[in-house]
Amino acid sequence: MDTDALDAQLAWARSGAMSLTGPADGAPRPAPGPLAAFAARQVRALATASGSDALHAVDGALLLGERAALAGLCRRGQVSPGGSCRLLRGADGWLAVNLARPDDRSLLPAWLESDPTRFRPDPWPGVEAHCAEHPVDVLVERARLCGMPVAPVAPPAKPAPAPHGVASRGPERAPPQRLRVVDLSSLWAGPLCSQLLGLAGAEVIKVESRARPDGARFGPPAFFALLNGRKRERILDLHTREGVGELDALLRGADVVVESARPRALRQIGIDAEAIVAETPGLVWVSITGYGRESNAVAFGDDAACAAGLAAASGEPDAPLFCADAIADPLAGVHAARLAWETRQRGGGTLLDVALCNVTAHASDGPVEEARVLRWGESWALETAHGRAPVAAPRARPPAC
C-alpha cells in the first residue's frame, strides 16, 4: 500500500468532507475510497508541473468541503448537505432525485405522470410515494427523457471506468509562455478547474450568457467570488449573430476551453467543439458532463456521485447515505485542471471528455486503511494504525488565494 493509501483516511478526516458524510444524528463515516488523497494528488501534480507557488500552498483535499464551509452546510444522511437531492426507495432499489432547479420541480408531473397538485406545496411526499411503487430503472429512464438529474444508487463499479476519454483530436502546437483559458462553465466543477489553471499562471476569461448567467451567482456570494473573483468577465448575448461570433473568436483564440454544457446545447447556437478543435492548432477543449459527451443525461455533483457508487459505499446495504457535498464536482474539477494543463504542455489538439460519474468512480477505486470513529470531546476523531485525526469541519480558502 503506497503512502497516499496509508494517509487516505486521515486526509479524509482533515478535509472537511468526512464531517459531511453519514447520518444526521450519528457519527460521520470514514472514506469509501481514497477520495481526499486523490484530490490532493491532482493539485500537487498541477503545482509541480506549473511551478506555481500559489498552487503549492493549496491542499487539494480541503477543496472537497469549500462550498459547505461557505454555505454553512452539514451532514443530513439521506438528504444531501445542500438539501436539493434525496435518496429515495424504489420498488427494487434506491435512487437519487435532485430537484436542483425550478425546472426540475415543474417537470415532476411529466416525469411521474401524476396530477401537479400532488407536488404542492412540498413535492417530496408525493415523489417518495410514487417512487416506492416503481422500478428504479423505469424511474431513471423517464427522468432522463425529461432532462431531470435522477440517478440509480449503484454499487461501486469494478473495475472503475477511466476518468476521462478523448472525443476528438486536432493539430498540435507548442504551448505559449502563458496559457489563455476561456471558461464557459458554471456552478462548481468547471469554474474550479479554470480557477486552478489561473493559480497555475493562466489568464482566465469567464464567459456568460446574458440570458443564462452562471447559476452559482444565485448561491453563496463568497463561493462564487472564490471560484471566479480573479477571472476577466465577458457577458455575451448568445441570441444574436454578433454575440455568437464574438464567442467563436474567443474560443479560437484560446489555449484551453472549459465548458460544462451538453454538446447539443452549444451546437444549437452554432458552436461545434469538434470542428473548432480540428481547426485551431494546440487547442485543448475540456468538456465536463455528468456521464460523458455521448449521453444526454443531466447530472449534478450529488446524483452523479450516487451513480458512481459513493452513496452505497458510505451507508449500509439497505440504507445508502450521501458522501460529502456534491463531491463529484470538486473531484472532476481538480482532475480536469491537471489534465488540461498537462495535455496543453504536450501540444494540445484534444477534445477531452470528462464525466463527473467516471472521475468519481475512478477516485474512489483504491485501498484505504482500516479506520474507526471515536468520540473526541464534543466532536469526533478518526483513528487508524498510522495515527489519529479530529474530524475537521469544512473550511475554505479566502477569495484572494
**Which CATH number is 115's domain given?**
3.30.1540
d(CA 225, CA 230): 8
Long-range own/partner contacts, residues 339-342 (CB < 8 A, 24 or more apart): 339/164, 339/286, 340/181, 340/193, 340/197, 340/256, 340/258, 340/284, 340/286, 341/46, 341/49, 341/50, 341/179, 341/197, 341/200, 342/45, 342/49
Please name the amino acid found at residue 247: L
Residues of the chain with pLDDT under 70: 1-6, 400-401
Q: Tell me, what's the pLDDT at 317?
A: 86
In whole angstroms, what separates CA 267 from the centre of its chain?
Answer: 23
Number of domains in the chain: 1
d(CA 250, CA 24): 46
Residue 327 lies in a domain: no
> All 3 cell numbers of residue 171?
493539430
Residue 42 lies in a domain: no
Instruction: Give me the domain span that covers residue 142.
Output: 85-157
Q: Tell me, what's the pLDDT at 266?
A: 94
Which pLDDT tens digit goes with each residue over 267-323?
A: 999 999 999 999 999 999 999 999 999 999 999 999 999 999 999 999 998 999 999
> All 3 cell numbers of residue 398?
479566502
> What single-letter DSSP state applies at residue 228?
H
Q: Tell me, what's the pLDDT at 187?
A: 96
Angle of helix 328-345 relative to helix 356-364, nearest 10 degrees? 100
Q: Tell me, what's the pLDDT at 144?
A: 96
Q: Tell me, what's the pLDDT at 4?
A: 54
Q: Tell me, what's the pLDDT at 2?
A: 41
Report how far apart the first and last C-alpha atoms of the chain are (Å, whole number): 34
Which pLDDT tens digit goes with each residue over 176-194?
A: 999 999 999 999 999 999 9
Q: Tell me, what's the pLDDT at 7?
A: 85
Residue 326 lies in a domain: no
d(CA 113, CA 282): 48
Residue 123 lies in a domain: yes
Residue 118 lies in a domain: yes
Residue 102 lies in a domain: yes
Q: How far lies 323's CA from each of 278, 286, 305, 315, in Å?
A: 39, 26, 8, 9
Cβ neighbours of residue 324 under 8 Å, at least 6 residues apart?
17, 18, 20, 21, 35, 64, 65, 68, 81, 305
Residue 119 lies in a domain: yes
Residue 113 lies in a domain: yes
